[in-house]
């Protein structure tokens, strides 16, 4: 299990890796995969302070996603 911290809407960090992106948790998962330190099946919990705000089942799965919108403008995950 990897524990990540969200310090703003666009900044996430874990294990001495910090990313700034529109979707910081997804970008962080991509960086963690690139570092080859953790298996793609490793889960990640993202916290903002003491509050768990996102649970990622596997960093490999999240690394393959991006945010999009539906026809009505609602946010939706989709394949990269």
pLDDT digits (tens, 9 = 90+) for 23-32: 999 999 999 9
Up-side HSE of residue 11: CA atoms within 13 Å toward CB?
Answer: 5
40, 45, 48, 74, 79 from 4: Cα distances, Å: 16, 6, 9, 25, 22
Encoding tokens for residue 24?
């910081």
Evaluate whether 25 touches 44 at the Cβ level (below 8 Å). yes
- So what's the pLDDT on residue 68? 80
Mean pLDDT confidence for 61-79: 84
pLDDT > 80? residue 20: yes
The per-residue pLDDT of the chain, averaged, comes to: 92
Task: Answer yes or no: is pLDDT of 15 > 90.
Answer: yes
| Domain count for the chain | 1
**33: domain range?**
2-79
Residue 73 CA to residue 52 CA, distance in Å, equals 26
pLDDT score, position 66: 86
């Amino acid at each position: 299990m990897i524990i990540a911290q969200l310090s703003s809407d666009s900044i996430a960090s874990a294990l001495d890796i910090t990313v700034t992106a529109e979707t910081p948790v997804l970008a962080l998962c991509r960086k963690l995969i690139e570092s080859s330190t953790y298996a793609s099946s490793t889960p990640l919990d993202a916290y903002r302070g003491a509050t768990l705000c996102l649970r990622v089942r596997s960093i490999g799965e999240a690394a393959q996603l991006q945010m999009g919108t539906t026809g009505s403008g609602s946010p939706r995950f989709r394949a990269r």
